[in-house]
């Protein structure tokens, strides 16, 4: 059964290793959207999209580390490195290093773990954006209540009720009503 990947899945390997990488990926049920033989080809294929990248340590035109760095936050990179690779060389690179020889099971688990973390990150970002939006709306509502309190001499409770009632009467969001209050030239009891 072929695994579904939320973003584009690209692989990069020199011509001599391309067939082997492709064979392993198909054997574990992952079909890449593209297998390229150079870093420049991957950069062109990624074209501004978020990608899951599997690459070898050395490509004809650049290293896997350089490719991962050039893609930056646009990619979740997994780099197959030699068994004797010194990880301190990759200290600035944000990639998962997989030591060669790499078993099919290890590659399968690495891809699954990366996809799981992608899913968690997307959910966390969505939650953070929602909380940020809610905070901004809360600030607008509080400023509108403050304006009603200052200019119309309402209590905080009265100002809140005024905004809430107008929102319900008009079938609009409280934050939109609050923004109108803030943008109004002059406030009246109907504000």
- 58 in Cβ contact with 14 (< 8 Å): yes
Predicted confidence at residue 1, as pLDDT, reads: 40
Reported CATH class of domain 127-183: mainly alpha
- 9 in Cβ contact with 28 (< 8 Å): no
- 77 in Cβ contact with 53 (< 8 Å): yes
Per mean pLDDT, which of 7-11, 80-84, 132-136, 186-190 is the most reliable? 132-136
Nearest to 78 by CA among 104, 96, 103, 105: 96
Could you tell me the strand order of the sheet in which 34-36 lies? 34-36, 8-12, 51-56, 75-81, 95-99
Q: Which has more pLDDT, 119 or 6?
A: 119
Give CA torsion, residues 105, 107, 111, 114, to 10 deg: 110
Q: Which CATH number does the domain 8-102 belong to among 3.40.50.620, 3.40.50.2300, 3.40.1670.10, 3.40.50.300?
A: 3.40.50.2300
Residues of the chain with CATH 1.10.10.10: 127-183
Confidence label for 82 from pLDDT (cuts 50, 70 and 90): very high
Confidence label for 54 from pLDDT (cuts 50, 70 and 90): very high
The most distant pair of C-alpha atoms in the chain lies apart, rounded to whole Å, by 79
């Amino acid at each position: 059964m072929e695994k579904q990947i939320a973003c584009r899945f690209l692989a990069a390997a020199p011509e001599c290793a391309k067939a082997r990488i492709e064979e392993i990926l198909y054997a574990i049920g992952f079909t890449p959207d593209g297998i390229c033989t150079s870093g420049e080809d991957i950069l062109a294929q990624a074209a501004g999209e978020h990608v899951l990248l599997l690459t070898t340590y050395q490509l004809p035109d650049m290293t896997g580390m350089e490719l991962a760095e050039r893609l930056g936050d646009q990619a979740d990179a997994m780099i197959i490195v030699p068994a004797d690779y010194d990880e301190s060389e990759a200290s600035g690179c944000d990639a998962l290093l997989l030591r060669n020889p790499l078993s099919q099971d290890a590659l399968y688990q690495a891809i699954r773990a990366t996809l799981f973390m992608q899913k968690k990150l997307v959910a966390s970002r969505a939650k953070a954006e929602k909380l940020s939006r809610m905070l901004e709306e809360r600030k607008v509502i509080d400023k509108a209540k403050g304006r009603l309190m200052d200019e119309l001499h309402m209590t905080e409770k009265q100002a809140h009720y005024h905004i809430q009632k107008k929102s319900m009467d008009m079938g609009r969001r409280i934050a939109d009503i609050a923004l109108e209050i803030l943008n109004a030239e002059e406030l009246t009891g109907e504000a």
